[in-house]
């Protein structure tokens, strides 16, 4: 079903890649999620990439359960179920569920932390609960240093909740928050191999790695190839705006307006005001930080994929608000329109499958309108489909072939037949497989015998060299 993405081995092993790049990846990402995945695969005794994809997909199912729990707490059970459906038809999320070993763990642990935070607010805070909460926060930061913002605002809102809802003494609240903070720091250290082996300098290595991430390639944005270090400040919000289904953008806007109005009401519920403000902070603060700090970004907004969770929560709040209208014709109209758009988005995802992450909405003319202006198959997932086509229609099993492929060689080589051999020298190749990232498809000579496409947009080119067999 799913192929092997570009840089897969950077994410999982040091094989084929420079020690320095692997070191930076290790400093920038946690390992517990991967350990859990490896254990799950080990239990099956089926050490294939397909099984790893399945294991990651199964882990991602918890995100659906957790977001339902979170929205149920914020709104009601009906809204919790709706949130699961809306997350399911979120192309960028679904497209990464099975293959993204870097950003999906951030989503998972953020969602776990938010869910446990809401649980902690309503229950007695025993030491075991504080330990679990500290563990979740520590692991979340391990996945990406930027998530330090999440720990800070979560503990801040825990104090706000104690002050205005539980009426706790300031000293008592500070003691609990300090315990959680120290536990978070402790678990952040002991659950990360780099930090546990560099207890003093490790955190500074993390910061340095984040500031000087060695990715100096260009990104296709607004029809231009721009260095990843020089992207405009609005790269993140615009990437989100053009890749989220329009109906969810509309519902998000309605939800946002509703929340803002609710916050300004003098007679509104204080508890709900605190929780809604927390939700807005989780969503908007990292967008603001990205605009100010200008970190190295690429591959659309996958580095901020964790924003999907608070975004879908706000979308659901907007939908629920419309469903509570006193006018039945409004409710019926909204249900019909949203249902139609859910099916339209689902159909589009089925067409793009398994490349849902290349979804673009109608603000840029869908995928055809985004082609040559924005990144499409930046991961080279289409190599699997390309090799499968080659094996059916072009491969003469009595002959031997030398194949050159752009990007991560494993993305294509994993699916080679026995009579196919990878070559790093394109001049000796019989066939060239190339994706469209960085216009690689334009630099290779040869006759294009097939392209992997979606909506007429080419993702992978198979080129036959004229002097080949």
How far apart are alpha carbons 225 and 364 in whole angstroms? 18
- In this structure, of 26-30, 52-56, 363-367, the range with the lowest mean pLDDT score is 26-30
201 within some domain? yes
For 402, the 3-state DSSP assignment is: strand
SS3 414: coil
Residue 366 placed within a domain: no
Say yes or no: 415 and 307 in one domain.
no
pLDDT at site 22: 46
Structural domain includes residue 378? no
Same structural domain, 306 and 424: no
What is the per-residue pLDDT for 210? 65
Residues 281 and 416 occupy one common structural domain: no
pLDDT score of 356 more than 50: yes
The pLDDT of residue 118 is 97
Same-domain check for residues 287 and 149: yes
Task: Tell me if 372 is assigned to some domain.
Answer: no
Ranges 146-150, 250-254, 342-346: which has the least confidence: 146-150
23 pLDDT band (50/70/90 cuts)?
low
DSSP, collapsed to helix, strand or coil, labels residue 352 as helix
Q: Report how far residue 70's alpha carbon sits from residue 313's, in angstroms, rounded to the nearest whole number.
A: 8
Q: What is d(CA 118, CA 26) in angstroms, rounded to the nearest whole number?
A: 31
The answer to whether residue 14 scores a pLDDT higher than 60 is no
Find out whether the peptide bond into 157 is cis, omega within 30 degrees of 0: no
If asked whether residues 310 and 418 sit together in one domain, one would say no
* 266 in the same domain as 398: no
Length of the chain as a residue count: 469
Could you tell me if 396 and 350 lie in one domain? no
- 324 and 432 share one domain: no
Residue 277 lies in a domain: yes
The pTM of the full predicted model, rounded to 2 decimals, is 0.91
Rounded-to-integer distance, Cα 58 and Cα 38, Å: 13
Last residue of a domain, one of 298, 323, 358: 358
For 208-233, how does the pLDDT look when each residue is reduced to its tens digit (9 = 90+)? 666 666 677 899 999 999 998 889 99
The verdict on 61 and 205 lying in the same domain is yes
Alpha-helix residue ranges (DSSP H) falling in 75-169: 77-88, 91-97, 104-122, 127-143, 148-164
Half-sphere CA count of 26, side-chain side, radius 13 A: 18
Q: Confidence band (pLDDT; 50, 70, 90) for 11?
A: very low
Q: Does residue 347 fall inside a structural domain?
A: yes
433 φ, ψ (degrees, to nearest 5): -105, 125
Token pair in block for residue 118: 């809401």
| 469: in domain | no
Cα–Cα distance between 250 and 448 in angstroms, integer? Answer: 42
Residue 9 has pLDDT above 90, yes or no: no
351 and 433 in a single domain? The answer is: no
Q: Are 136 and 112 in contact (CB under 8 A)?
A: yes
Q: Report if residue 369 sits inside a domain.
A: no
Average pLDDT of the chain? 89
Please say whether the beta carbons of 106 and 305 come within 8 A. yes
| Whether residue 259 sits in one domain with residue 219 | yes
**Rounded CA gap, 92 and 359, in Å?**
7
The string of pLDDT tens digits covering residues 169-192 is 888 889 999 999 999 999 988 888
Which one of 324, 358, 392 terminates a domain? 358
Tell which wins on pLDDT, 168 or 1: 168
Share of the chain above pLDDT 70, in %: 91
Q: List C-alpha distances in Å: 283 to 34, 213, 289, 390.
A: 26, 24, 11, 44
Asked if 134 and 174 sit in the same domain, the reply is yes
pLDDT category at 4 given cuts 50, 70, 90 is low
- Domains in the chain, number: 2
Q: What is the pLDDT of residue 121?
A: 94
- Specify the pLDDT at position 6: 57
Query: Where does the pLDDT of residue 17 fall: very low under 50, low under 70, confident under 90, or very high at 90 and above?
Result: very low
* Final residue before a domain boundary, out of 295, 324, 358: 358
Instruction: Encode pLDDT of 434-455 as tens digits.
Output: 999 999 999 888 899 999 999 9
Condensed to tens digits (0 to 9), the pLDDT of residues 107-140 reads: 999 999 999 999 999 999 999 999 999 999 999 9
What is the band of 421 on the pLDDT scale with cuts at 50, 70, 90?
A: very high
Domain extent, residue 389, equals 383-464
Which residue(s) pair with 463 in the sheet?
432, 448
């Amino acid at each position: 079903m799913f192929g092997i993405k570009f840089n897969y081995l950077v994410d999982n092993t040091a094989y084929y890649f420079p020690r320095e790049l692997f070191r930076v990846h290790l400093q920038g990402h946690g390992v517990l999620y991967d350990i859990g995945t490896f254990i799950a695969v080990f239990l099956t005794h089926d050490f294939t990439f397909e099984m790893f994809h399945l294991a990651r997909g199964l882990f991602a199912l918890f995100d659906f359960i957790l977001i339902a729990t979170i929205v149920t707490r914020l709104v009601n059970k009906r809204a919790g179920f709706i949130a699961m459906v809306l997350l399911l038809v979120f192309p960028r999320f679904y497209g990464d569920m099975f293959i993204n070993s870097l950003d999906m763990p951030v989503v998972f642990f953020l969602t776990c932390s938010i869910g446990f935070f809401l649980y902690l607010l309503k229950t007695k805070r025993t030491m075991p609960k504080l330990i679990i909460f500290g563990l979740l926060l520590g692991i979340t930061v391990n996945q990406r240093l930027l998530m330090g913002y999440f720990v800070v605002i979560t503990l801040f809102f825990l104090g706000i909740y104690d002050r205005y809802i539980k009426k706790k003494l300031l000293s008592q609240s500070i003691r609990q928050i300090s315990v959680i903070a120290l536990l978070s720091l402790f678990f952040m250290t002991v659950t990360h191999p780099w930090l546990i082996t560099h207890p003093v300098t490790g955190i500074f290595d993390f910061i340095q790695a984040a500031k000087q991430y060695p990715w100096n390639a260009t990104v296709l944005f607004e029809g231009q190839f721009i260095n990843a270090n020089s992207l405009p400040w609005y790269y993140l919000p615009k990437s989100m705006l053009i890749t989220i289904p329009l109906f969810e953008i509309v519902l998000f806007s309605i939800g946002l307006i509703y929340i803002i109005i609710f916050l300004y009401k003098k007679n509104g519920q204080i508890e709900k005001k605190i929780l809604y403000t927390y939700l807005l902070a989780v969503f908007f603060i990292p967008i603001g930080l990205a605009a100010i700090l200008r970190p190295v970004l690429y591959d659309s907004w996958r580095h901020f994929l964790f924003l999907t969770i608070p975004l879908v929560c706000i979308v659901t709040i907007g939908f629920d608000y419309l469903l509570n209208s006193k006018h039945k014709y409004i409710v019926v109209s909204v249900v019909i329109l949203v249902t139609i758009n859910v099916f339209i988005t689902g159909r589009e995802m089925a067409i793009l499958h398994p490349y849902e992450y290349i979804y673009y909405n109608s603000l840029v003319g869908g995928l055809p309108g985004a082609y040559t202006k924005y990144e499409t198959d930046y991961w080279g997932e289409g190599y699997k489909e390309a090799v499968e086509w080659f094996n059916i229609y072009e491969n003469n099993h009595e002959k031997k072939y030398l194949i050159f492929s752009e990007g991560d060689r494993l993305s294509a080589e994993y699916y080679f037949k026995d009579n196919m051999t990878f070559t790093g020298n394109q001049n000796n190749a019989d066939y060239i497989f190339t994706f469209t990232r960085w216009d690689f498809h334009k630099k290779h000579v040869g006759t294009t015998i097939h392209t992997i496409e979606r909506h007429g947009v080419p993702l992978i080119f198979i080129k036959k060299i004229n002097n080949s067999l």
